[in-house]
Amino acid sequence: MSSKQHEWPLWEVFIRSRQGLGHKHSGSLHAADAEMAIQNARDVYTRRQEGVSIWVVPAEAITASSPDDKEVMFDPANDKVYRHPTFYKLPDEVNNM
């Protein structure tokens, strides 16, 4: 019986732990609609004052990069060391730059 019934959709939950920080993925849960997802997220993921703001996103609405493309996507950044401040050796006199 239960398997024939539609399960409530899965939602991904993102929580801002305090003002000034970004929302971070906390976990997921099931809810029939967005209002319920927000309430469930509050009850499931902020019982210990973990948050001040919640985002919920239907899991199916997320587009993710493919793990197979990991190398193609992210390896090319490896050799662009000049993007990092430590690449530049400057005289000691300007060491606070």
What is the binding site for other proteins (CB under 8 A)?
1-3, 5-8, 10, 27-33, 35-36, 39-40, 43-44, 47-48, 64, 66-67
**Toward other proteins, which CB reaches closer, 39 or 90?**
39
Minimum CB separation of residue 1 from other proteins in Å reads 7
How far, in Å, CA of 1 to CA of 42, rounded?
A: 30
List the beta strands (DSSP E) in the chain.
10-16, 23-30, 53-58
Location of structure tokens 């000049």: 82
Distance, first Cα to last Cα, the chain: 67
Nearer to other proteins, 3 or 86 (CB): 3
Min CB(85)–other proteins separation in Å: 28
Query: By C-beta, is 9 or 16 nearer to other proteins?
Result: 9
Find out whether 66 and 29 touch, Cβ atoms under 8 Å: no
